[in-house]
Structure 1
Amino acid sequence: MLSTLQWYIFREMGKTFLLTSIALTTVLGFGGGVMNLVEVDRVSPGQLLGLALIVLPVAGTLTLPVAALYSATVTYGRMSADNEFLACRASGINLGRLFAAPMVISVLSGAGTFYFVNYMIPGLIHDLNTFARAGVQQYVEQQIRSPERLTMPGGRFRLYADAPSHLADDRQTLVLGGVAVLEVGEREWRSVGAAERIELRFEDANTERPVLAGEVFGLTYFNREKGQWIREVGRQSIGRNEIPLTIRPRVKWLTLTKLMEYGANPAEWPRVREIIDNGRTEWACQRFHEAVYDEFVGNHSVVLPAADAVVTIQAAEVRRDMERDGRVLFFDVTATEARGGASRRIHGREAQFHAARRDDGAIVQGELVITGDVEVTYPDSSIQPARGGRERLSGFALPVSIPAADGSTDSGFLEEEVPAEKLPTVAAIQHKARQERDLFVRQVTAEFHSRLAFSASALALVLLGAALGVLLRGANVLVAFGISFVPAMMVTVMNIMGRQLAEKADTGTVGLLVLWGAIGAVVVADGWLIARVIRR
């Protein structure tokens, strides 16, 4: 008999839960609640449909706890109004067992919410990024046809053009004809002109956002500051611009799997990784400078090998500029470059040796810039000497011994004590990397507890709704549902507040206590209300 009664309650709750979930998901998905979270403008109907298919499953994540709470309140309120609980008690049935159905529904709702929060919503962000990358060409074409036209990232240039087209052999290049270009400043326009055509390329670069580059052909424009027309010969390059369509990675958008992976190795988090890479580069450059300086002090000259040449540097005086990353300064310097059996000699008043990461970000290379009455002679040739104000020699490879240093590894860079008085820039970057790593670890901890607490709160809130439905029965069922929203909002607010406190270094433990304490208060209220229902 008890199993039949349990199935009856579970069936009634299940129907209400299912219908409420479908209704709320549809309203939330198509009514704009979740759609407003997506910052994509001017989408086509096809894109809107594809976007809806991505968003609707995620809308269900937000509706499951509400649907479970509503179904428990309405079902138990109706049963109480029909005196079914009195009949069960008169039959000798323990009323506490009748709360098994809301417990099952709440566990299923909590488990579903936990899965959706940890995988469905992060999957939405990934799908949106893929969606934005796949439709970047269509986005640019729609921008060109729109009244506002295409504004390049940064907001300085606005392009007006005829209907765009594609190259016959290259679908990744968009051709704009009949182009008008407007350059604007902070308060007024700076220049206006026209071009024969513009070719825009959509590069599939390994960046967080789609990249747009290209060339301008036959550009003629009026410069307002100079008050004259200028015609550019040939083609002008459009630098690589990231189109802000995609969503940057954040801790809240990580799946549970990624959250645990990054939590175990926080140095792999992109923000921390970027700072560490910059620090390792700076450390390598500093050691490169130090190696060049020490060799010169010991030998009164320094030999720098390049890809296809060897440069020997001699100078009357040498010192390091510790205020500018420790670069080496030479005075009354002579650099002899030997290349393929031939040589040339470059003399100048001063020179500086500076190491930096190459433009493509691949490796660190050294560069020697000679300035001040520069004279270039060719001892092994009849070429006449040349004079100038500046000569640049580059491509000097990082010594093999430097990457093997402790600072070349993540653990070495984060844990090695860098002398701040000797390497202030490296020490500052290391301190920033440690702060970012510790912040990320706290964010991961807070995010995990927040997701778990939000999902676990479904059990306490659904039981609370069922108990209130029994006490405030009949026409007051909706009042019971509204009352149950007060602790639900309290749990939500405390969840957000606790997560924010847990992310701070000095309030981490307090934040977790706040986060879980709200659920504990609801559990205590559940016990008191259910005991009162059973006594009645």
Structure 2
Amino acid sequence: MFFTLQRYIFRDLLRIFILATVGLTLILSLGGILQPVQQYGVGPRQVVNLLVYFLPITLTFVLPMAALFASALTYGRFAVDNELDACRASGVALPTLIYPGFVLALLVAIANLLLSFHVMPYFMHRAESSLKADAKRILFRNLQRKGFYRLSPDGKYLLYADYVDPKNDTLFGIVAVQHEPEGVKRIITAEMTRVQIDPHDRFNEVQLAIHNARQIGAPADDDWVRVGSMLLKTSFESLLTDKIKFKKVDEMKQIRADLMRFNPVAKIARTAYGQLATEALARDMAETWRAAPGSFYALPSGSGTVRISATACALDKPQVITLTPPVLVREYDDRTGQCLRRLRCERANLHVEDDPAQPRLGLDLRGEQEEETSPLVHYVLGDLSLPATIRRELERDPILQTLTPDRTAALLGAPPSSLLAGQQAYLRTIINKVLTDLASETNSRLVFGIGCIPMILIGIGLGILQKGGHLLGAFGVSCLPAALLGAAILGGKHLIKGVAAPEFSGILVMWAGLGLLGLLAAVVYRRLLRQ
């Protein structure tokens, strides 16, 4: 008899729960998909895919609310129709009647924990992969719709195009603007460019093969120069998943063990690493020319060597070494030992690119003249590498250990520049934020998942106690404990991220909210058992 009664209650619970879940999911899913559609300009097929991929995020919040709604209404109706009183008069204990609601609460809690820790991050990675696979189409569609597109989330490159030919992967009448924190670094214009997407595990590399390009550099270099053909590379970094809240448990453990696995940290670390390489190279060059004025400093270059002589060098801009004239440059072929070119120039900059694998160098010469020939307008030497001695020093320890203040000072033989010190301080701030986000996200998921059980049990109890009022009134009152749990989680997150309060205080607030919810459930059921 008991099983038949419990099955009857559970069937009603399940029917209302499913209907509420479907209705709330449709409403919230359609609202949540608007921002990605507007931001990335995805097509109709991608919209359907994203609806499916974002479904676990919606269900994480919908399932507890749908279960709370179903519990309050089912047990409220059960009490209003005096079925509850009839069962208790027949000798059926209250825990027996509550058992179906408890099973639903337990199932929802387990589903919520699985969704938040495993399913939701997995589907977010699927959504990311879907967008990356369609990266070229997204790029061309945005250029057609808006006339411009930011090639990375931080907007480092802003690309404009007059005409788009998706069939041939070609752009016409392009303007590429490279932004840095201090302002516009350079502007490139060209009649035509071909687009190629090179996929990687963590990012997609965008390669623009630019033809008949003209370039203007930093504000100090206010003259346009024709550079012919060039290859511009940048990356489509993570569009969705570069947030701790979208990481699986294993990924969070890996990030805690190695912070370079988290792309926002790795990106800032590579920038600081590039500046460190710049300052180490500048120090070595200055010492060489100070010890032997007029001597040449050698840099590896593909299958050859580039040797540079200058009076001195200075660090005026991020990752740029300005050479003091007169500057002499010699290009040698290592296989034959032959000098391929001898250059003398008025201005020269050596810039360091923060390549993910190893910092690369480029030498930008202005007002140069090849010996025994007519003057050249502009000459760029690319694909240069750091000297082996500096590479060994930089690669001796992992990047984050190399960027510690003590290790940096030891490598440079002097305190770092204010720019590098600022980058190191910013990196430490981001690392601390990531560590607090890891603690915050782990505890908030646990508290919210476990909190589904007392929250739904309170809904059942209030549904029975409020049998004299409207059924929806019981659900409304039941939402107050849910709001209390949400406030505890949000307040705890805020405290964890705060500078003044210690991290454990925020975690304590979250679990205290869960404890208060359990205490409230005990009070409700104590009153029920006394009736």
Normalising by the smaller structure, the TM-score range is 0.7 to 0.9
Counterpart CA distance in 1 for 2:170 and 2:328 is: 51
Relative to structure 2, which stretch is displaced further, 323-332 or 267-276? 323-332
Q: Which amino acid aligns with 2:80?
A: A
2-structure distance, mates of 1:387, 1:180: 30
Instruction: Return the alpha-carbon distance in structure 2 between the equivalents of residues 503 and 440 of structure 1.
Output: 10
Query: Could you tell me how far apart the structure 2 residues matched to 1:25 and 1:449 are?
Result: 25
What residue in structure 1 maps to residue 221 of structure 2?
none
Q: Which runs of 5+ in 2 are unaligned?
A: 151-156, 177-189, 213-225
Counterpart of 1:470 (choices 464, 481, 489) is: 464
Instruction: Give 1:431 deviation, angstroms.
Output: 2.0
Q: Check 1:438–1:21 CA distance in 2 against 1; reply closer, same or farther (3 A cut).
A: same
Q: Normalization by structure 2: what TM-score? A: 0.74
One-letter amino acid matched to 1:496: L
The Cα shift of 1:298 comes to 4.3
Tell me the SS of whatever aligns to 2:58: helix
What letter corresponds to residue 247 of structure 2 in structure 1? Answer: L
Compared CA separation, residues 277 and 92, structure 1 to 2 (3 A):
same
Q: Distance in 1 between matches of 2:140 and 2:113?
A: 40
Distance 2:45 2:390 in 1: 57
Aligned to 2:525: 530
Give yes or no for contact 2:344–2:370 (8 Å, CA) kept in 1. no
Whether the 8 Å contact between 1:122 and 1:255 is mirrored in structure 2 is: yes
- Which residue is 1:290 aligned to? 283
1:8-407 aligned at under 5 Å gives the runs: 8-29=8-29, 32-40=30-38, 45-136=44-135, 139=138, 150-153=147-150, 157=160, 159=162, 166=167, 173-174=168-169, 201-206=195-200, 208=203, 211=206, 213=208, 246-247=239-240, 249-299=242-292, 302-307=295-300, 308-309=304-305, 311=307, 313=309, 321=314, 340=336, 342=338, 356-358=351-353, 363-364=358-359, 384=372, 395=384, 397-400=386-389, 402-405=391-394
SS in 2 for 1:305: strand
Show the 5 A alignment for 1:390-469. 395=384, 397-400=386-389, 402-405=391-394, 408-417=397-406, 418-419=408-409, 422-424=415-417, 425-469=419-463
> Deviation string for 1:369-425 (max 9, x for gaps)?
7889x7765xxxxxx476779887773642335423577523422445144963123
Equivalents in 2 of 1:36, 1:104: separation in Å?
A: 35
* SS of residue paired to 2:388: coil
SS at structure 2 position matched to 1:506: coil
Query: 2-side partners of 1:438 and 1:37: how far apart?
Result: 29
Q: Displacement of 1:363 after TM fit?
A: 3.8
Q: 1:489 is matched with which residue: 483, 487, 492?
A: 483
Distance 1:55 1:434, change over 3 A: closer
Aligned pairs, how many?
A: 487
Summarize the Cα distance change of 1:362–1:303 in structure 2 as closer, same or farther, 3 Å threshold: farther
Question: Which secondary structure does the structure 1 equivalent of 2:393 belong to?
Answer: coil
**3-state DSSP class of the match of 2:389?**
coil
- Aligned partner of 2:58: which letter? A
Q: 1:37 to 1:111 in 2, by over 3 A?
A: farther
Q: SS of 1:423's equivalent?
A: coil
Which residue number in structure 2 is paired with residue 170 of structure 1? none
Shift of 1:107: 1.5
Distance in 2 of aligned mates of 1:44 and 1:294: 57
Normalising by structure 1, what TM-score?
Answer: 0.74
Q: CA deviation at 1:461?
A: 0.9
Which whole-Å CA distance do the structure 2 matches of 1:165 and 1:406 have between them?
42
Partner of 1:221: none
1:336 deviates by 6.6
Counterpart in 2 of 1:499? Answer: 493
CA distance in 1, matches of 2:431, 2:401: 14
Amino acid at match of 2:492: G
Q: Distance in 2 between matches of 1:283 and 1:238?
A: 26
Matched residue type, 2:263: P
Point out the structure with max Rg over C-alpha.
1
Deviations 1:434-480 (A, max 9, x none): 21111100011111111111212211110110110111116522110
| Structure 1 residue 69, shift from structure 2 partner | 0.8
- Preserved CA contact (<8 Å) 1:502 1:512: yes
CA-atom RMSD in angstroms: 4.6
Distance 1:367 1:455 in 2: 53
Instruction: Give the superposition deviation at 1:6.
Output: 4.0
Q: Match for residue 229 of structure 1?
A: none
Q: Using a 3 Å threshold, how does the CA distance of structure 1 residues 200 and 244 change in structure 2: closer, same or farther?
A: farther
Which AA in structure 2 matches 1:271? P
Aligned AA (1:490): L
- The change in CA–CA distance for 1:501 and 1:160 in structure 2 (over 3 A counts) is same
Whether the 8 Å CA contact 2:143–2:149 is kept in 1: the answer is: no
Q: Give the distance between the partners of 1:88 and 1:235, measured in 2 at CA.
A: 88
1:446–1:55 Cα change, 3 Å: closer
| 1:404 partner SS | helix
Find the residue that maps to 1:39 and give its secondary structure. Answer: helix
Query: 2 CA distance for matches of 1:435 and 1:234?
Result: 40
Tell me whether 428-437 or 127-136 shows the greater mean CA deviation: 127-136
Aligned-pair CA distance for 1:280: 2.4
Pick closer, same or farther for the CA change 1:90–1:344 going to 2, 3 Å.
closer
For 1:239 and 1:415, the matched residues in 2 are separated by 32
